[in-house]
Every structure is written in C-alpha cells, then in structure tokens.
Amino acid sequence: MERTFIILKPSAVGRGLAGEVINRFERRGLFFAGLKMMQLSDAILEEHYAHLKNKPFFPMLKRAMQATPVIVGCIEGKDAVQVVRTMCGPTNCREAQPGTVRGDFGVSVEHNIIHASDSKENAVIEINRFFQPKELFDYKPVSINLIYGQDEMN
C-alpha cells in the first residue's frame, strides 16, 4: 500500500491539537507506519522547503516551524498521498473547506497546522528524509478486511 508523509506543525502541537488530527486519519482507516516527535533544525527545513528558500516569507516560515517540537508521521493506505492531501485542504486555511484539517483548525497560511506530501515521488523523498528504516513498521491493522474490499488491498 502507498505511504505518505505528514508534519503536525507547531500550530498543531503547540495548540494541543495533535491528537485530534491524528485521530482523523485513524478514524478514516489510514494507519501509521511511523510517528515521532522532533525539533526541526535549520538544515532539515532548508532541505524540506528548498522550493521556498528564496521567498520573502521563508525566514518567518522557518521560525514558525521551530516554535515548538513537531510530530512527524508516515501514513499508510491505498492512494494515501491524495487521500491525505484532500483531508488537509489548501495551503491557506481561510480558503479551506470545513471538514478539512486546515478548514477546521486554522485561519492562517503560515500557521496552517499540517504538512502533507504533494506527490508520490515527494512522499518517498520526505519519508526517507525524516525517518530511518528502523523507525518504520510493516503491519496491517487487524480490521483491514473491514477497511478495504479484497480487490483494493494491493
């Protein structure tokens, strides 16, 4: 099954919302192959947000991402990249629909609660950037046969 990568940002951890957000993914039938807390360094942020390094807001973004520790997760499920991005909503929380993580928990662009990989290729890169192989676990929830039909489990 597909894996994707998330960061519960300081706007989630520092506001005590991490459990609620994690719960949404679990409730949906997605499951965690890896989950840990860490403080993000300058180096890892410059790599992770390399596409934004020259933007004027980059120093503020970096400070926002370092305001508290974050929780990083590797989420598994069929089409996990697309399913998780859809659950998060668009970058600007003010444009996000109610029912999405950003639409339910935020009103900001900078403090937008969660990062989620935007493509299968980036998911692989980001999982490897933040997790060591031994921190990822191969298992299926016992309820897997009630989460997917037989023909969906590959």
Positions marked catalytic:
115
Note the residues at the interface with ligand UDP (CB under 6 A). Answer: 52, 57, 61, 91, 109-110, 112, 115, 118
Please report how close the Cβ of residue 53 comes to ligand UDP at its closest, in angstroms: 11
**Window of 79-87, 98-106, 113-121, 131-139 that interacts with Mg ion by CB under 5 A:** 113-121
Nearest distance, CB of residue 150 and ligand UDP, angstroms: 34
Residue 57 binds which entry of Mg ion, ligand UDP, none, CB below 5-8 Å type-dependent? ligand UDP
Q: Rounded CA gap, 121 and 24, in Å? A: 24
For 36-100, the three-class secondary structure string (H helix, E strand, C coil) is EEECCCHHHHHHHCHHHCCCCCHHHHHHHHCCCCEEEEEEEECCHHHHHHHHHCCCCHHHCCECE
